[in-house]
């Protein structure tokens, strides 16, 4: 009996040791495969970053590694080229699956580091001006100037003595302007039709209207509040207008904004105001709903007063002249600039973290720090 008990105990102990060793082997094998699956998921994340860098409109795919036929990568990237994208990369190796999610963003074009960027010259005309400016040519002053900002310009270019030397930084090279895709904005916008012609102004006239995602008196609406107008080579005057979204003006001789004007973003990923001609922006007057008997922001009352203001990116394929008052929080990108009156250009923190169509630095999208999450089975 004693011998049988000893034998049974030894057998049980042996079986326990064998089972323990097998479990350890299985655990080690799973850990190895889980690590492999994690590496596969990370490789999928890198593939998606590279693809998004080449094509911001890419929406993801299933990717297989040809040299490792037992492994596969599934990538789902939610992006339309204008938003922060969310990527989910799934790596599967045998019986192990790992999933990695990451938020990615495009690096902003360097021109957005400035409140005003001119491809050529900046001319001040009897101005009180602040902000961070950059130009690739001369800086001139006509009349008086009270300048409390900073200017970056190219060496060998002249800067008016009326600009304090300590507020001027000269660099060695010019900065190339972004290649803004006007066709993208045109395809994503709703045309303004039947815009009235003003005989006295000899120009089309947008007056006392509100352009928002659910408001367009001259046609259909869209979820971005993006609208476009083709002036057919004529002038356009904008008076007492509220914009929450994006306004694109094409084929126009010139655009003049006067009296009340208040423009904000409805979608951070698109520019606020784009013109393919010269733009004179006079931010002189507030928009008073009670005085103009118009509910500009659509909140159901006519009690609001909106300061003369523009938020976001203003892109001008010609001369920008302004602002004569008001505030621009963001960046003005133009061929040349004439700054007159009170010019208050400030920063928009959103531009530093949100990709804007037409102002994305070439190259792969960067992963936002701290945005990676992992899970697996």
Residue 376 vs residue 140, higher pLDDT: 140
Whether the pLDDT of residue 374 is over 70: the answer is yes
Residue 180 vs residue 232, higher pLDDT: 232
Peptide bond between residue 304 and the one before it cis (omega within 30 degrees of 0): no
Whether the pLDDT of residue 297 is over 70: the answer is yes
> Quick one: 299 and 221 in the same domain?
yes
Question: What percent of the chain is predicted at pLDDT more than 90?
Answer: 57
Query: Rounded to an integer, what distance in angstroms lies between the CA atom of residue 304 and that of residue 276?
Result: 32
> Quick one: 278 and 369 in the same domain?
no
358 belongs to a structural domain: no
Whether the pLDDT of residue 75 is over 60: the answer is yes
Q: 113 — phi, psi (to 5°)? A: -75, -10
> Quick one: 204 and 307 in the same domain?
yes
> Quick one: 96 and 156 in the same domain?
no
250-258 mean pLDDT: 96
Query: Rounded to an integer, what distance in angstroms lies between the CA atom of residue 258 and that of residue 83?
Result: 32
Whether the pLDDT of residue 27 is over 60: the answer is no
Quote the pLDDT of residue 67.
Answer: 58
CA dihedral 321, 157, 107, 247 (to 10 degrees): 10
Query: Rounded to an integer, what distance in angstroms lies between the CA atom of residue 106 and that of residue 369?
Result: 13
> Quick one: 71 and 125 in the same domain?
no
190 belongs to a structural domain: yes
240 belongs to a structural domain: yes
Name 133's Cβ contacts closer than 8 Å, sequence gap at least 6: 114, 115, 116, 117, 118, 122, 149, 150, 151, 152, 337, 345
> Quick one: 67 and 132 in the same domain?
no
Quote the pLDDT of residue 66.
Answer: 61
- C-beta of residue 148 within 8 angstroms of C-beta of residue 129: yes
25 belongs to a structural domain: yes
> Quick one: 265 and 305 in the same domain?
yes
357 belongs to a structural domain: no
Please give the C-alpha separations between residue 78 and each of 41, 59, 181, 275, 286, in angstroms, as whole numbers: 17, 6, 21, 30, 39
> Quick one: 172 and 304 in the same domain?
yes
Mean pLDDT of the chain: 87
> Quick one: 180 and 93 in the same domain?
no
| Per-residue H/E/C for 235-292 | CEEEEEEEEECEEEEECCCEEEEEEEEEEECCCCCCCCEEECCEEEEECCECEEHHHH
The number of domains in the chain is: 2
Q: 11 — phi, psi (to 5°)? A: -65, -45
Q: Provide the H-helix boundaries in the chain.
A: 2-54, 182-187, 289-292
Question: Could you tell me the pTM of the whole model?
Answer: 0.80
Let me know if 138 is exposed, middle or buried by CB neighbors in 10 A (0-12, 13-18, 19+). Answer: middle
> Quick one: 247 and 332 in the same domain?
yes
360 belongs to a structural domain: no
Parallel/antiparallel/unpaired status of strands 197-198 and 226-230 = unpaired
Quote the pLDDT of residue 295.
Answer: 95
Whether the pLDDT of residue 304 is over 60: the answer is yes
> Quick one: 171 and 308 in the same domain?
yes
Q: How many C-beta atoms surround the C-beta of residue 83 within 10 A?
A: 17
Helices and strands of the chain, counted as H and E runs = 3, 25
pLDDT bin (cut points 50, 70, 90) of residue 256 is very high
330 belongs to a structural domain: yes
Whether the pLDDT of residue 26 is over 70: the answer is no
> Quick one: 19 and 101 in the same domain?
yes
Range of the domain at 275: 110-352
């Amino acid at each position: 009996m004693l011998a049988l008990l000893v034998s049974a105990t030894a057998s049980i102990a042996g079986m326990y040791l064998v089972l323990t060793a097998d479990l350890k082997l299985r655990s080690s094998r799973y850990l190895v495969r889980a690590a492999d699956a994690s590496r596969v998921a990370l490789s999928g994340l890198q593939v998606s970053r590279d693809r998004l860098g080449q094509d911001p409109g890419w929406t993801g795919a299933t990717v297989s590694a040809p040299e490792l036929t037992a492994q596969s990568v599934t990538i789902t990237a939610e992006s339309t080229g204008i938003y922060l994208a969310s990527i989910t990369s799934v790596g599967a190796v045998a019986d192990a699956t790992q999933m990695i999610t990451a938020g990615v963003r495009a690096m902003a074009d360097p021109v957005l580091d400035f409140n005003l960027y001119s491809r050529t010259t900046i001319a001040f005309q009897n101005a009180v001006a602040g902000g961070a400016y950059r130009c690739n040519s001369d800086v001139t002053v006509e009349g008086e100037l009270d300048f409390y900002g900073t200017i970056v310009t190219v060496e060998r270019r002249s800067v008016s003595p009326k600009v304090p030397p300590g507020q001027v930084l000269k660099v060695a090279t010019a900065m190339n302007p972004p290649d803004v895709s006007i066709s993208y904005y045109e395809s994503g916008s709703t045309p303004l039709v039947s815009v009235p012609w003003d005989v006295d102004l000899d120009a089309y006239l947008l007056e006392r209207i509100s352009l928002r995602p659910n408001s367009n008196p001259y046609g259909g609406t869209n979820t971005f509040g993006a609208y476009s107008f083709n002036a057919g080579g004529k002038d356009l005057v904008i008076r007492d207008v509220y914009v929450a979204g994006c306004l694109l003006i094409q084929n126009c001789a010139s655009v003049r904004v006067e009296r009340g004007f208040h423009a904000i973003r409805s979608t951070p990923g698109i520019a606020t105001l784009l013109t393919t001609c010269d733009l004179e922006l006079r931010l002189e007057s507030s928009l008073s709903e009670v005085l103009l008997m118009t509910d500009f922001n659509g909140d159901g009352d006519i009690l609001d007063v909106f300061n003369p203001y523009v938020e976001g990116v203003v892109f001008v394929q010609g001369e920008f002249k302004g602002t004569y008052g008001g505030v621009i929080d963001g960046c003005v990108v133009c061929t040349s600039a004439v700054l007159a009156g009170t010019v208050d250009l400030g920063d928009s923190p959103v531009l530093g973290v949100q990709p804007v169509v037409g102002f994305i630095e070439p190259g792969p999208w960067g992963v936002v720090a701290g945005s990676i999450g992992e899970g697996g089975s």
